[in-house]
Amino acid sequence: MDKLIINGGNRLHGEIPISGAKNAALPILCASLLTADDIELTNVPHLKDVQTMLTLLQQMGVTVKKDGNKIVMNGNTVHNFNAPYELVKTMRAAILVLCPLVARFGEAKVSLPGGCAIGSRPVEQHIKGLRALGAEVEIKAGYIYAKAKKLKGTRIVTDMITVTGTENLLMAATLAEGETVIKNAAREPEVTDLAHLLVKMGAKIEGIGTDRLVIHGVERLHGARHDVIPDRIETGTFLCAVAATGGDVTLTKTRDNILESALNKIREMGADISAGADWIRIKMEKRPRGVNFRTTEYPGFPTDMQAQFMAVNCLADEATHVIETIFENRFMHVQELNRLGARIKTEGNTAFISGVGKLVGAPVMATDLRASASLVIAGLAAQGETQVNRIYHLDRGYDRMEVKLTAVGADIKRVKQ
Ligand code: EPU
């Protein structure tokens, strides 16, 4: 397993290009199952999770042609409707093949994802919605078996706001007979990006970007071209890195209107932020001020940024608290940040951070993607050497992070093991 060695203390200066959004690309790749025509995608990030999803889709019979960050997919010869445990256990987003398969081919066998480092993360809302659309769904020996001659439009109100649940049911409804209403829908920009692709494919969707999606099912969908939106979490992660180390960095190929709540918190930390249509510049001249926040669904503060902001809070003078409301176990970075000298205590879903002003490098290990990112941020600001172990988590969701950080002056290198 590779690790990262970081010598902290360098200020960051220069430009970082932001990649396409992981959490938009993953459902969008699955949308290739909904049509027999070509789906041409640009701005697809180079990530382990994207590769895993492509492997799964190829096993099903989707053809994939890759050229840099461009991918052309064709679902004309799909013959296998099975998502095996071996793949789903490495990437929960594989559940996103369930609804497209049932909608177009009338059947699917998809492994239940099981638990995950950040929470139990059940998928019963995906199943409940698919049943409401008329599918017969059985759970046997760890697999979801779903069948439907033709899905039928219905009204769905999910018990909680679920991102991939909304995406799965939205894809199902595009090919269902009649009208489907999804209430309590997730409004994350990644859901909206998927909806925009589906509309280009011929889907009829109203209420895009709101919590009430109305879908008028069509007989078939056709090919389309689409440019994946910028990754707002990668953007926010680099903003946190600069807030922690100080410096002056322009993030290109991204935009500010998909991460307003996080940007407001970065400003509160004392950063000077300016932005244009496709760039965001951060200048940070002082030590960060600590910020309190509570994670919620979009447009609130994203759970996927909680760990990175907590790392910056450790460097502040003041005491802060952070409340995690989306996942029940998303504080796995706390013990590791404490190894770097942070003073964080947790009580239930609240973390209390006593700012310590400086961190000192140490070996650390991460258990999930965003936790790994928080340790990199802490390591960049810490005195001395930090080793971040188990970085396969980082490679799942960040496109060559150490290369991008080196280009702006960080002392960070990957050691192959
Ligand atoms: N939930 C249920 N039942 C369901 C579905 C969800 O109880 O059927 C619960 C979850 O356990 C969680 C909450 O509802 O407590 C919200 O979960 P959601 O379904 O929205 O999460 P997800 O769709 O599995 C996506 C992202 C996550 C991100 C969350 C929240 C993708 C591929 N993943 O997950 O991204 O944290 O939304 O915004 O889009 C990451 O990129 O690091 C990551 C974990």
3-state SS record for 304-364: HHHHHHHHHHCCCCCEEEEECCCCCCCCCHHHHHHHCCCEEEEECCEEEEECCCCCECCEE
The mean per-residue pLDDT over the stretch 380-402 comes to: 95
The mean per-residue pLDDT over the stretch 235-261 comes to: 98
Asked if residues 412 and 6 have their Cβ atoms less than 8 Å apart, the reply is yes
pLDDT at 70: 98
Start-end ranges of CATH 3.65.10.10 in the chain?
2-19+230-416, 22-227
pLDDT of residue 101 exceeding 80, the answer is: yes
Q: How far is the CA of 24 from the centre of ligand 1 (A)?
A: 13
Choosing from 30, 99, 116, 314, which is the catalytic residue?
Answer: 116
Spatial distance between the Cα atoms of 342 and 336, rounded to a whole number of angstroms: 9
pLDDT at 366: 83
pLDDT at 119: 79
Pairing of strands 247-252, 12-17: parallel
Residue 314 has, within 13 A of its CA and on its CB side, a CA count of 34
Q: What is the mean pLDDT of the chain?
A: 97
pLDDT at 57: 98
Percent of the chain with pLDDT over 70: 100
Annotated binding site for UDP-N-acetyl-alpha-D-glucosamine: 92, 121-125, 304, 326
pLDDT at 74: 98
CATH T-level topology, domain 2-19+230-416? UDP-n-acetylglucosamine1-carboxyvinyl-transferase; Chain (3.65.10)
- Residue 288 beta carbon below 6 angstroms from any ligand 1 atom: no
- Residue 93 beta carbon below 6 angstroms from any ligand 1 atom: yes
The C-alpha angle 10, 17, 71, rounded to 5 degrees, equals 140
pTM of the entire predicted model: 0.98
pLDDT of residue 117 exceeding 90, the answer is: no
Q: Is 314 a catalytic residue?
A: no
The mean per-residue pLDDT over the stretch 234-253 comes to: 98
Asked if residues 107 and 81 have their Cβ atoms less than 8 Å apart, the reply is yes
Residue nearest to atom 33 of ligand 1 (CA): 23
Looking from the CA of residue 118, the nearest atom of ligand 1 is 44
What band does 255 get if pLDDT is binned at 50, 70 and 90?
A: very high
pLDDT at 352: 98
Q: What is the DSSP letter of 74?
A: E
What band does 343 get if pLDDT is binned at 50, 70 and 90?
A: very high
CATH class of this structure's domain 22-227: alpha beta
pLDDT at 357: 86
Residue nearest to atom 43 of ligand 1 (CA): 304
The mean per-residue pLDDT over the stretch 90-119 comes to: 92
Spatial distance between the Cα atoms of 229 and 190, rounded to a whole number of angstroms: 8
